[in-house]
Amino acid sequence: MPVSDYQMVKAWDAVLKLSKVERGQKVTILCGPHTHPQTLQTATIAAQAAGAVVTRIDLQPINAEKATSRDLMNYLGETPLTNNPVALAAMKNSDIVLDLMLLLFSPEQMEILESGTKILLAVEPPEVLVRAVPTEADRERVLAASRLLKSAKRMHVTSPAGTDVTFKLGEFPTISEYGFCEEPGRWDHWPSGFLFTFANEGGSDGTIVIDRGDILLPQKNYVSDKITMHLREGFVRSIEGDVDAALLREFMEAYNDPEAYAIAHIGWGMQPRCYWHTLSLVDREATSGQDARAFEGNFLFSLGPNNEAGGPRTTPCHLDIPLRNCTVKLDDVVVVRDGKVIDEAFR
């Protein structure tokens, strides 16, 4: 259903309050030609109503000659903020940046966060944002799970489709997403509700089977036939299957970058207001696929860069692949069984 401006202002008001936006603070709204006008307008109204000093920065897109689609995550690393010290300085001098453009995996994002500025990414359509307004309960639940992930040394993932893969853990931090930024220097994504870490360098081995109905991002496709990936020492060494596998291989080969095949972040979804099926109901160009990343019980693994967690890889190729019906085990504790989150494991 369409969303009214009133509903969107209320949603922004809730998120800004959770993010501790107060009177007199500096709020910068980063946008571009693709930013949803209702999201931009209502964010501005809500920030002004909170008493903040609001600045909009509108930047033009880049990388059209390199990317193979219009998707915001099709080519990462370089953004319209690259080589723009004026805009960068304004954001570093803000209390919070509302990112309606997408800075993900860029050095400039890291620099802004290191200055103490908070960044909240919000690029989903208004109907998704309103449905999945974050809550304090979301935060508490994700943080409870993150405490267990932080202490784990090994993740083992299996599925009826044939996935049987092990990840060694401990070199990289655990990152929790729950949809708002209450602390200086924090980044989050509305909507969300999941957690992840990055496998140790060279520490991913086994087989991942992307089953029928699992999702590829940024393609935003449901897989129609199985894709089998064989992992050894942290990299995908082969991609086997029929047409879907061939499409995936060519997509990755187009970047001409061996780092694209590295295992990046691994974790699981915990947001009950996000759904596996919603990608089938929306315009693919209107969404970044956040429902698919966050729906409760999925095992989400990615390929490509790890600089978001302090690693060395900055490849522009990035795939997020949420799998259904998996069992995820941290050391000796099952945290997801057959696609169902086991909350008792976090208590």
User: Which residue ranges make up each domain of the chain?
Assistant: 5-131, 136-346
Give dist(CA 187, CA 116) in Å, integer: 10
List, in sequence order, the alpha helices (H) in 188-346.
243-253, 290-294
Third-level CATH fold of 5-131:
Rossmann fold (3.40.50)
Predicted pLDDT of residue 70: 67
List, in sequence order, the alpha helices (H) in the chain.
5-18, 37-49, 85-92, 107-114, 126-131, 136-151, 243-253, 290-294
Predicted pLDDT of residue 77: 62
Peptide linkage before 218 cis (omega within 30 of 0)? yes
Residue 71: pLDDT band by 50, 70, 90 thresholds? low
Predicted pLDDT of residue 73: 65
Q: What is the CA radius of gyration of the chain?
A: 19
Average pLDDT along the chain? 94
Residue 69: pLDDT band by 50, 70, 90 thresholds? low
**Nearest one of 98, 38, 28, 87 to 60, comparing CA atoms:** 87
For residue 230, CA distances in Å to 163, 209, 225, 241, 285 come to 10, 9, 17, 12, 31
Predicted pLDDT of residue 66: 60
The model's pLDDT over 252-264, given as tens digits with 9 standing for 90+, comes to 999 999 999 999 9
The model's pLDDT over 181-231, given as tens digits with 9 standing for 90+, comes to 999 999 999 999 999 999 999 999 999 999 999 999 999 999 999 999 999
Q: Is the pLDDT of residue 26 over 70?
A: yes
User: Higher confidence at residue 309 or residue 317?
Assistant: 317
Mean pLDDT of 104-126: 93
Residue 107: pLDDT band by 50, 70, 90 thresholds? confident
The reported pTM is 0.94
Predicted pLDDT of residue 105: 74
HEC readout, 196-221:
EEECCCCCEEEEEEECCCCEEECCCE
Give me the count of residues in the chain.
Answer: 347
CB atoms within 10 A of CB 171: 16
Instruction: Tokens for 254, please give them.
Output: 């187009």
Residue 64: pLDDT band by 50, 70, 90 thresholds? low
C-beta separation of 157 from 163 below 8 A: yes
Residue 37: pLDDT band by 50, 70, 90 thresholds? very high
The model's pLDDT over 152-183, given as tens digits with 9 standing for 90+, comes to 999 999 999 999 999 999 999 999 999 999 99
CA 309, 311, 312, 318 torsion: positive or negative? negative
| Beta partners for residue 210, in sequence order | 227
Q: Give every CB contact of residue 13 below 8 A, 6+ residues apart in sequence.
A: 46, 49, 50
Mean pLDDT of 135-151: 98
